[in-house]
């Protein structure tokens, strides 16, 4: 039995050795490709990390510049300075992904909101949501975009943006507020059944938040007795 096992092992070894000899060029080529890919991934990650650090540093510079101007956005004397800051932010945001790019778009949205340029604010916040889709900034930016859409009378667009914010897989702390806003906007549009449905969703999904529970119930009562 032992002799048989030894022979089987030798035969297996011979087969493996024969296979390697016959296919050594292909094996060496594949090994080379794997090594190149491995080295390439390390280089990519290193470059990407360096770019992210540079983006973070540049964003901090832009935030400092914005902080010095945000109380003066509406003042005519500082219009040129704000426009210059806005241009820098837009150039940075257009070429930057992830959290840094999303934050830049959010600041752009804030500037346009202060100026009451709601269309541009909405576009900026939507860009912030797309850029930071997989981060906490995604749903928050959609919520802000909805607020801007509401300001220029696009209630249905606002509802759609709020629904998108609620469908995010990322944690969304102001989700009950977004859900309540869907009810409020439907109520303003005269869509009373949709409004009641939205308010009931508040009560079902956030039973541990009594303030939102009471507000939702009060609106349902108001609709039912109107």
**Beta carbons of 170 and 139 less than 8 angstroms apart:** yes
pTM of the predicted model over 0.85: no
| Cα–Cα dist 70/110, whole Å | 9
149 Cβ contact list (under 8 Å, min separation 6): 118, 122, 155, 157, 158, 161
pLDDT tens figures, 153-206: 999 999 999 999 999 888 889 999 999 999 999 999 999 999 999 999 999 999
Q: Is the pLDDT of residue 35 over 50?
A: no
| Cα–Cα dist 212/214, whole Å | 5
Where do the domains of the chain lie, and which CATH numbers do they carry?
A: 54-157 (1.25.40), 174-226 (no CATH)
* Residues constituting the chain: 226
Q: Hey, what long-range contacts does 108-113 have (CB within 8 A, 24 or more apart)?
A: 109/141, 109/144, 109/145, 109/148, 110/70, 111/66, 111/70, 111/73, 111/82, 111/85, 111/86, 112/148, 113/144, 113/148
Residue appearing with tokens 């303003």: 188
Q: What is the mean pLDDT of the chain?
A: 83
Please compute the mean of the pLDDT values over residues 82-87 and round it to a whole number: 93
pLDDT confidence tier of residue 15, bands split at 50, 70 and 90: low
Please compute the mean of the pLDDT values over residues 216-220 and round it to a whole number: 95
């Amino acid at each position: 039995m032992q002799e048989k096992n030894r022979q089987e092992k030798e035969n297996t070894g011979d087969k493996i050795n024969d296979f390697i000899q016959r296919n050594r060029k292909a094996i060496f080529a594949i090994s080379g490709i794997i090594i190149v890919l491995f080295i390439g991934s390390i280089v990519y990650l290193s470059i990407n990390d360096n770019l992210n650090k540079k983006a973070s540093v540049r964003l901090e510079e832009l935030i400092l510049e914005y902080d010095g101007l945000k109380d003066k956005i509406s003042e005519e004397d500082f219009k040129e300075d704000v426009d210059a800051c806005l241009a820098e932010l837009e150039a940075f945001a257009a070429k930057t992904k992830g959290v840094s790019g999303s934050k830049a778009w959010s600041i752009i949205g804030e500037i346009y909101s202060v100026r009451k340029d709601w269309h541009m604010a909405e576009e900026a916040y939507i860009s912030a949501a797309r850029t930071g889709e997989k981060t906490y900034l995604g749903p928050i930016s959609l919520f802000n975009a909805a607020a801007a859409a509401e300001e220029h009378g696009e209630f249905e667009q606002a509802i759609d943006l709020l629904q998108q914010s609620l469908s995010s897989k990322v944690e969304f702390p102001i989700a009950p507020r977004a859900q309540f806003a869907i009810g409020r906007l439907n109520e303003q549009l005269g869509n009373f059944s949709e409004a009641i449905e939205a308010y009931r969703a508040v009560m079902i999904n956030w039973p541990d938040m009594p303030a939102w529970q009471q507000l939702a119930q009060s609106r349902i009562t108001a609709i039912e007795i109107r």
